[in-house]
Structure 1
Amino acid sequence: MEEEYMRELTLNTGINIPIIGSGTNTFGKVDHQYMGEINGDTTEILSAIEVGYRHFDTAIAYRNEAVVGKAIKESGLPREAFFITSKIPGKPEYTNSERSVMEAVEFSLANLGTEYLDLYLIHHPWENLEEMVIVWHVLERYVDQGKIKAIGVSNFDKKQLAYLLAGARIKPAVNQIESHPGKWNHEIIDFSLQNDVFPEAWGPLTRVSPEAKEQLSQIGQAYGKSWAQVILRYQIEKEVIVIPKSHHLTRQKENLAIFDFSLTEQERNMIGQL
């Protein structure tokens, strides 16, 4: 199981990314609330590491980069064992000058206690496409320096991604987008893959209706899998990187246990229409 979990995709920069990671946006916070006070609790991250997660996704906006960095140190494993993603907010105070962008990157590196980031994303697009390319060029210099291994975007639509692709020296490696039953975002996933940009699903297990859960559970019965495992399997079979999140050890384990079955074409078509 461990070897299968470590299935990786090779990004267009040549580095490998585990196809499953863990979201962290409520980790290390009081009552696991997104806007909760940071309490520095590393319990959930350490349990995820214990069961096999090596890919963790955080962001400046989550306010908990330091908690992720603390957990990685507490794990006792070498930094090289992990794939760490963080994100620069698409807000003027972080993007309105080269200095602002550089300060954001250095802020992330310092909080995570690392000399390099595996992946750094622009968290959200904004209206000024030309300005986004300017920000991108600053991030490219960090790739040149080896402080960032790969750069990408989050929540970009086709127009925004196409504009950036046209103006980039280093192509985006990842487009992290919302993808779950009810909003699979097939179009942007296909467009990203066509341009050698891997789509990555945030919130892959969120907003699943009772009706969808029932259909997914029926599919999962044949394989001894839950509705959540079926969703994750469906996504990775489409070469979509997934970053589910759970605070519970049992579900963290379950989210990794998706490499011992495959969906049929009929099942994939059914799931894709949910």
Structure 2
Amino acid sequence: METIQLNNGLTIPVVGSGTNTFGKENREYMGTINGETTELKEAVANGYRLFDTAIAYRNEAVVAKGLKETGLGREAFFLTSKIPGEEAYYKDAAAVKEGVESSLAALDTDYIDLYYIDLYLIHHPWDNLEQILAMWRVLEAFVDKGVLKAIGVSNFNQEQLGYLLEHSRIKPAVNQIESHPGNWNDAIIDFCLENHVVPEAWGPLTKVSDEAKETLCKIGAAYNKNWAQVALRYQVQRGVIVIPKSHNNERQKENLALFDFELSSEDMQKIATL
């Protein structure tokens, strides 16, 4: 697995697994939590080590349960979670602290005396930059304690991210944003890369048109790769972490098989226009 170094020196895998429907009935985002860990353990067996969850997903405890059931130590994994950008979590410092501590408890991160979350993100911005900064200050204090190894944001635009970059003591390490064929989100990705913030793509294989798939399939034929592998490789090759999610064992494997080929500059340009 290839890694990227964050601006604090921590390394993170360039491919991870989303989990927002893991451990839920009918594999639905709003499904009742059922504690099922099969797909997560299959992902670990297939080579995934980066797992992305959130308070809003309601399944942090399921992710922890699945990782513990693999028998691998906590240090084998890179765990990301997120605190909601909602008033109940940002109204004051105590609310932020309670949110972080709820994630730590749900993820059971002390199960081998290693009490930390690798990356913790503000899940969504809201329309008050000073309040966002106030939440950030509390997250910085958790970094100082070593409880959060890195902190970042999710779904932030250039203005919001730029404000944090200008006013923060600890710079955001990651901005997790929507990016996929049809909406590469180039402007914010370029801004991130220019400012040493690693962009991370959620939903990298969603909302892909038939036309885009056809183009990606044609490109993939030259590399003996499918359309999804080409789309993911494009992101990785331009410095973007990807966190595809699949409940299917074979597709999980396919989504990791990105490191035995390299897209040509011509193909990169074609994909950029999708």
**TM-score, length basis structure 2:** 0.98
Partner of 1:90: 85
1:213 and 2:216 correspond = no
- How far has the Cα of 1:266 moved from its partner? 1.0
Runs of 4+ off more than 2 Å: none
Q: Is 1:43 aligned to 2:43, yes or no?
A: no
Provide the C-alpha distance between the structure 2 equivalents of 1:168 and 1:270, rounded to a whole number of angstroms: 38
- Flag structure 2 segments of 5+ consecutive residues without an equivalent: 110-114
Residues 1:72 and 2:67 aligned together: yes
Counterpart Cα distance in 1 of 2:178 and 2:2? 22
Q: Deviations over 1:148-182 (max 9, x none)?
A: 00000000000000011111000000000000011
Equivalent runs, 1:250-269 vs 2, <5 Å: 250-269=250-269
Q: Deviations over 1:202-245 (max 9, x none)?
A: 00000000010000000000111000000000000010000000
Q: 1:93-112, aligned counterparts within 5 Å?
A: 93-112=88-107
Q: Distance in 2 between matches of 1:247 and 1:153?
A: 26
The answer for the alignment partner of 2:178 in structure 1 is: 178
Separation (CA, whole Å) in 2 of partners of 1:14 and 1:138: 21
Cα distance in 2 for residues equivalent to 1:270 and 1:224: 18
| Distance (whole Å) between structure 1 residues aligned to residue 265 and residue 5 of structure 2 | 25
Do residues 235 (structure 1) and 242 (structure 2) align?
Answer: no
Q: 2 CA distance for matches of 1:55 and 1:10?
A: 14
- The percentage of counterpart residues that share the same residue type is 64
Alignment of 1:77-226 (within 5 A): 77-114=72-109, 115-226=115-226
Query: What residue number does 1:3 align with?
Result: none
Give the counterpart of 2:54 among 53, 56, 59. 59
Distance in 2, Cα, partners of 1:22 & 1:108: 18
Tell me whether 1:21 sits opposite 2:16 in the alignment.
yes
Aligned Cα root-mean-square deviation (Å): 0.4
Deviation at 1:16, TM superposition (A): 0.5
Deviation at 1:65, TM superposition (A): 0.2
Task: Give me the whole-angstrom Cα distance separating, in 2, the residues matched to 1:127 and 1:106.
Answer: 25
1:86-122 deviation line (CA, Å, top 9, x unaligned): 0000000011100000000000000000010000000
CA distance, structure 2, for counterparts of residue 146 and residue 14 of structure 1: 14
Q: Which amino acid aligns with 1:147?
A: V
Q: Which amino acid counterpart does residue 12 of structure 2 have in structure 1?
A: I
**2:241 aligned partner, one-letter code:** I
Matching residue's letter, 2:221? Q
Q: Distance in 2 between matches of 1:96 and 1:266?
A: 49
> Deviations 1:110-157 (Å, cap 9, x if unpaired)?
000001000000000000001100100000000000000000000000
Q: Distance in 2 between matches of 1:60 and 1:184?
A: 26
- Distance of 1:176 and 1:106 partners within structure 2: 22
Question: 1:200: how far off?
Answer: 0.1
Report the number of matched residues.
Answer: 269
Residue 34 (structure 1) aligned with residue 29 (structure 2): yes
| Counterpart residue number, 2:112 | none
Question: Secondary structure of 1:118's match?
Answer: strand
Distance 2:128 2:122 in 1: 13
TM-score using structure 1 length? 0.98
SS of the equivalent of 1:14 reads coil
